[in-house]
Structure 1
Amino acid sequence: MYEKDRFGDLFYRLSRSKFRSRFYLNEKEKQYVHDKGMDTIRRHAEDFVRQRLAPAVIPNDGKQTPMRGHPAFVAQHATATCCRGCLSKWHHIPAGVPLTQAQQDYVVDVMMAWIARQMRMQ
């Protein structure tokens, strides 16, 4: 389901960032993924992206994504998909315009690929 090397270059670049590389799923978050399943986690991620990232204007941009509390939130910070500023800097997705469905799907795919990698690191 999640292509092994599709985001290899991105994940390599993110691993070189002192801030991005410090994020990982702790045991509680891994257990949550295990208990809920990847399909449910993906639905949650889709909802978070649609509500918190997709609008053209986000009043609290840069502060809308919690650091912990859900594996998708951790993934957003690890993959620089946490705010429109990071999406612009790391993924070249411009701020100030609504995300297309294709862009939302890309963001969720990146998050889910990172979560899948974390789950294999048990």
Structure 2
Amino acid sequence: MNMMMMMSTISICLSMLIMLIATILSKKMILDQEKMTPFECGFDPFHVARIPFSLKFFLIGVIFLIFDVEIAIILPTMQTMMNSSLTMWTVTFTFFILILLLGLYYEWYQGALDWTN
């Protein structure tokens, strides 16, 4: 046990020493102004390079992914219908669809599906 603790301590200390030496010997300067400026064919850029995207587009994409995953969950339910009782399958499937519809109506009520604004 002592040998294992000693080897772990030595390996941790050795890796910390190598990381410290690599940091000290690194030629990379954090505040190098020439490398930090944008470059467009030898000219300074006319516009900001990063245009902020619409949050509405992001929300529509997330909603699409959520419903896409739910469709992938619904597809195998036809196979499970053969192996389970019909009443239990119907109750479970109806409950799942009800949760999906409630989520859809909630998104609609909150205005996340309104494309015009």
Same fold flag (TM > 0.5)? no
- Greater percentage in helix: 2
- When normalised by structure 2's length, the TM-score is 0.27
Q: Over alpha carbons, which structure has the higher Rg?
A: 2
